[in-house]
Amino acid sequence: MATIIAETTDQPGGRGRVGTGVPPGRARTEEVESGRGRNARTENRACGCGRPARTVRPRRPHPQHPQHPQHPQSALLILAACLTAASMLLPLWGMTLVSTQYPDGLRMIVYPTHIRGDITELNLLNHYIGMAAITDNYFAELKLLPVLLALAAAACLGAALVRRRWATIMPLLILGATAGYGLWSMHRRLYQFGHDLDPTAPIHITPFTPPPLGTNQIAQFATYSYFSWGTFLPIAASLLIVATLWLDVRDQRRAGASR
């Protein structure tokens, strides 16, 4: 037997549901709530699963590509660039020769771009033993070294901006190649100056190779060779780059462990 449900108004004297004894006001409330339920079920079916849609959380940034710049590593690379650029203005290596005739010593100081010191007096002495004259034009290294150092400084600045591992390794490779080339060239030049002697020179001496570091005796001269700040600063810059790589690896491992 079917039950007939009639919709009524809230006016006094109006009827509720026929045969149910439900008051008029409550009938309207139940119908509104029933409509809301149908709308909610319709929205759930619209998502295709019959369940409320899940809340999508924002993805975390990849540890290798952070959203914010890594200030300590960038600062280290900028400092390395400044040290490398400053080394082009400072002496790389020097030698002092002392004898009874020159108690204050004769000095030769090698910069990345030129040679300074008591060059006139040294060339005069070198002439008597058949050694080649010391001039800036004789050394091709003085044209190549500033280019390599400037390239390394620019690579450090680029790595501070790019912040990728390959970009950080690049200035380290350039500085390492520059150091290897400089040491090889120094040994070759010292050997060349001490062995390629003019046989017609007034004074004949046994061929020799001045040591790049420390003391030595050449004829009546006591020599002292040393490296200077132009060599120390690129070494310090290389250590800063290595520290940057270590910090990058440490931060990446910490970010991976926290995921």
Question: How many residues in total does the chain contain?
Answer: 259
Residues 6+ apart with CB under 8 A from 66: none
Looking at the domain assignment, is residue 178 inside a domain? yes
Concatenate the DSSP letters of all residues of 2-39 into one string: PPP-----SSTT---STTT---HHHHHHHHHHHHHHHH
Each residue's pLDDT tens digit in the chain (259 positions)?
A: 444 444 444 444 444 444 455 455 554 545 445 555 555 444 445 445 555 555 555 555 554 444 444 578 999 999 999 999 999 999 999 999 999 999 999 999 999 999 999 999 999 998 888 999 999 998 999 999 999 999 999 999 999 999 999 999 999 999 999 999 999 999 999 999 989 999 888 888 888 888 899 999 887 889 999 999 999 999 999 999 999 999 999 988 888 777 6
Looking at the domain assignment, is residue 10 inside a domain? no
Structural domain span for residue 127? 73-258
Q: What is the rounded distance in angstroms from the CA atom of residue 96 to the CA atom of residue 26?
A: 110
Q: Which CATH number covers residue 129?
A: 1.20.140
Both tokens assigned to 149: 């150092």
Report the chain's C-alpha Rg in angstroms.
42
Looking at the domain assignment, is residue 215 inside a domain? yes
User: How many structural domains are present in the chain?
Assistant: 1
Helix (H) or strand (E) holding 156: helix 141-162
Looking at the domain assignment, is residue 209 inside a domain? yes
Concatenate the DSSP letters of all residues of 49-66 into one string: SSSPPPPPPPPPPPTTS-
Helix (H) or strand (E) holding 173: helix 165-195
**Collapsing DSSP states into helix, strand and coil, what is residue 103?**
coil
Judge if pTM exceeds 0.95: no
Least Cα distance to 25 among 17, 35, 36 occurs for: 17
Looking at the domain assignment, is residue 92 inside a domain? yes
Looking at the domain assignment, is residue 236 inside a domain? yes
CB 229, CB 87: distance < 8 Å: yes
Looking at the domain assignment, is residue 97 inside a domain? yes
Looking at the domain assignment, is residue 243 inside a domain? yes
